[in-house]
Amino acid sequence: MATKKLSKILLLIYSLLLIWILLFKLSLSFSEITESLAHPMRSINLIPFQDSMIVNGKVALNEILLNAVIFAPLGVLLGISAKNWSFLRKIGFIFLFSFVIEMLQFILGIGATDATDLLMNFVGGFLGLIFYQGLKQVIPETKLDKRLIVIGTIAGIFCLGVILLLIFGNR
């Protein structure tokens, strides 16, 4: 029971962290957020792997891959915490979560809305879910869930430390 509760808490914290990173671009002050909302800059790219991924005439492959990497834990956490959901429902959630973030970027004017981001976010979450399903074939599920929650908690504490360092280090 504790594992299920912890996994849901980790999923919530991770989701909030994703929103903070993707929507608010790691802004640490309320004034930075309100400033970006006051001066919206909207752009939209509906063609995957097109102009938005080209920086200085080169494809920004690292940005494309980072979108997948940052969403992989979402798939893993859904695997742990949403056991009563079907696989299709889990991948639907991953797609919808990414879609909502991309749409909010456009509506709020705080980032580029990009089909590549949507696609790679989905791919990352999907691969995270596949990774979890694969590990379940090798490691007993209860043991796997406990280990992944420990890893997630350690990663969460590390991220919290970095955030606190950024907040208090910039004063």
Tens-place pLDDT, residues 44-67: 787 887 765 666 666 677 888 898
Q: Is 125 left (phi over 0), alpha (psi -120 to 50) or beta?
A: alpha
Distance, CA of 153 to CA of 164 (rounded, Å): 16
Q: How many helices (H) and strands (E) does the chain have?
A: 6, 4
Q: Residue written as tokens 């990352």? A: 124
The helix/strand/coil state of 38 is: helix
Q: Map out the domains of the chain as residue ranges.
A: 1-170
Give the HSE-up count for residue 128: Cα atoms under 13 Å, Cβ half-sphere: 25
Q: Residue written as tokens 């742990």? A: 80
- pLDDT tens digits, residue range 121-138? 999 999 999 999 999 999
Q: What is the pLDDT along the chain (171 residues), one digit of tens a residue?
A: 588 888 999 999 999 989 988 887 766 555 665 665 566 677 778 788 776 566 666 667 788 889 899 999 999 999 999 999 999 999 999 999 999 999 998 888 887 888 989 999 999 999 999 999 999 999 999 999 999 999 999 998 998 888 788 777 766
| Two structure tokens written together for 100 | 């909502």
Q: Which amino acid is at 93?
A: F
Q: Residue written as tokens 């940005």? A: 63
